[in-house]
Structure 1
Amino acid sequence: MAMNKKWLAVAMMVPLTLGSASVLANGHKGGEKGQKGGQSCMMPMDGKSAFRGLDLTDEQKAELKTIRDDVRASKKAKGDSKRETMKEIKAQEQELVLAADFNEAEAQKLASSMVEERTAMQVEKMRTIHRMMSVLTDDQKQQLVEKRAERTAKCEQKMQKRMSKKDSE
């Protein structure tokens, strides 16, 4: 009986090993859609990396850290209620689309509540970015704007290159 288990284990491991070797040999880098390898064209504004390269004083660094910590604590405190709200919205959406008859008034109401939720999140994000930007001097703000413009131009070039590559295939 023990011998049968060993052979079964070997029989299962061989296809798995060969399959994983072929994936590694092909250099799999991710899915067809979306960013690959964690590369993103978006410039983060709420983390440390957005301010990298700026000559920040220790006081500015401390203030930015305080803001990030405040935001993190706020998100953590609101997390459970926000998750519950999103679950309720998703349940209502599923109920609406699975119903025998489509209720346009309910769909409008649900869509409006989804827009309100998203708007509140965007306003909070802008408030945080404003707080962080108010810590910077005018020169630092200008450097950040220039850095963002360079990154955007570089990203556009990458996108054009990818599009021309896809068109030629």
Structure 2
Amino acid sequence: MNKFTQRGLIALMVSGALFSGVASAQSHDEGRHGGRHDGGPMMMENMRHMFKDLNLSDEQKVQLRELMKAHKDARKAERDADGAERDASRAAHHEKMQALMNAPTFDEAAAKALIAERQARGEERALEAMKLQHQMFQLLTPEQKTQLQAKMEQKRQEREAKRAEREERRKERADAL
């Protein structure tokens, strides 16, 4: 895995960890699984959980709500504006992928170019999510920041424990074969 891929994944994990919840900062009308991890409804839902026990003031709740709404509106406007272009880009990507698969020999340079295109789009979304995360974090008091960081660390440890369990089960299955 190259450095850009690792950085992108780390950025998404960090933003996902921080954004696992803002209590009362947004209504539940988007649904629990109604969006992607790139600033969509699922990310907003996740934020609620992380901010849940921080005893946010009414002013902080309003400010967080406004930040999330602005982010959501910007993402929607971007999707709406780029709709036809995105569809054409997706079709072009699909055609390039098909050409790569149908070629008698594998073109590693073309494959790397396709991967780089996809990673660039993911990095842009991760950057926007991290900007939002930073703005939200700046609204917290020092005590709330400390509490949030402790929650994030706890979530990280839980993810690591689950990852270790999955790895152990994978090894056991491999040994059983």
Residues 90 and 136 of structure 1: is their aligned pair in 2 closer, same or farther, counting only changes over 3 Å?
farther
Residues 161 and 112 of structure 1: is their aligned pair in 2 closer, same or farther, counting only changes over 3 Å?
closer
Equivalent position of 1:154 in the other structure: 158
- CA offsets 1:94-148 (integer angstroms, 9 cap, x no match): 2322234444443333222222112111111111111111111121111001011
Root-mean-square deviation (CA), in Å? 2.7
Q: Is the 8 A contact 1:89 1:114 kept in 2?
A: no
How far apart are the structure 1 equivalents of 2:128 and 2:98? 28
In structure 1, stretches of 5+ residues that fail to align are: 1-41
Question: Which AA in structure 2 matches 1:94?
Answer: Q
- Measured after TM superposition, the shift of residue 150 of structure 1 is 1.8
Ranked by relative contact order (alpha carbons within 8 Å, sequence separation 6 or more), the top structure is 1
- Measured after TM superposition, the shift of residue 161 of structure 1 is 4.9
Matched, 1:55 2:59: no
Question: Which AA in structure 1 matches 2:67?
Answer: I
Residue identity (%): 27
Instruction: Tell me which of 109, 117, 120 is aligned to 2:121.
Output: 117
Larger radius of gyration between Structure 1 and Structure 2: 1
Matched, 1:127 2:101: no
Instruction: Tell me which of 134, 139, 143 is aligned to 1:139.
Output: 143
How far apart are the structure 2 equivalents of 1:160 and 1:101? 38
Question: Which AA in structure 1 matches 2:17?
Answer: M
TM-score, normalization: structure 1?
0.62
- Measured after TM superposition, the shift of residue 157 of structure 1 is 3.6
Question: Which AA in structure 2 matches 1:43?
Answer: A
1:53 counterpart SS class: coil
How far apart are the structure 2 equivalents of 1:139 and 1:107? 48
Residues 98 and 104 of structure 1: is their aligned pair in 2 closer, same or farther, counting only changes over 3 Å?
same
How far apart are the structure 1 equivalents of 2:166 and 2:124? 35
Residues 61 and 93 of structure 1: is their aligned pair in 2 closer, same or farther, counting only changes over 3 Å?
same
Equivalent position of 2:92 in the other structure: 88
Q: How many residues align?
A: 128
How far apart are the structure 1 equivalents of 2:157 and 2:106? 45
- Measured after TM superposition, the shift of residue 48 of structure 1 is 1.7
Q: Is the 8 A contact 2:18 2:152 kept in 1?
A: no
Would you identify which runs of 4 or more consecutive aligned residues in structure 1 move more than 6 Å?
Answer: none
Matched, 1:43 2:13: no
TM-score, normalization: structure 2?
0.59
Q: Bigger CA drift: 105-114 or 57-66? A: 105-114
How far apart are the structure 1 equivalents of 2:164 and 2:150? 21
2:53 counterpart SS class: coil
How far apart are the structure 2 equivalents of 1:51 and 1:112? 34
